[in-house]
A = this chain, B = another copy of it.
């Protein structure tokens, strides 16, 4: 299949300057990033596409892992011992380094979205913004090796 190319529609402004600023274990908690605030600056030519967005409390953000290294198929999640298949992880070092996160929309000011629940680093190029809908909320999920280990001490 041939290559597919995209042009960023905006950029993320975040208190995290690099991946190292993000504690990996936050990722396994449902509210790990709840209090982290930032902004999505949508480039002016795309601002019209933000019409009606204020009606939604949560947004799906697709962005570029711009600090990632070449795509790997096996990765070692930070703080873990085992090597995992990359598609079973949220590692940025993926064949196509696209990130997906759900953030809370606090306020829209023109072409800028003020958000919270941010787990993205400063300067990440944004590819798309979508409303989070009931279809995106799944119950009774199993989360493989991410699941809390019961009755076992962490060494």
Interface positions of A (Cβ within 8 A of B): 1-9, 11, 27-30, 32-33, 42, 46, 48-58, 60, 62, 64, 73-74, 84-90, 94-96, 98, 100-102, 104, 119, 125, 127-147
B128 adjacent to A94 (CB under 8 Å): yes
Chain B residue at minimal CB-CB distance from A42:
B87
Chain A binding surface SS class: mixed
Residues of B within 8 A of A89 (CB): 130-131
A28 adjacent to B144 (CB under 8 Å): no
A134 adjacent to B128 (CB under 8 Å): no
Are A57 and B129 CB-contacts (below 8 A) given A7-B3, A9-B96, A49-B86?
no
Interface centre among A87, A130, A137 (most CB of B within 10 A): A87
Other-chain contact of A58, B5, B8, B119, B138 (Cβ < 8 Å): B138
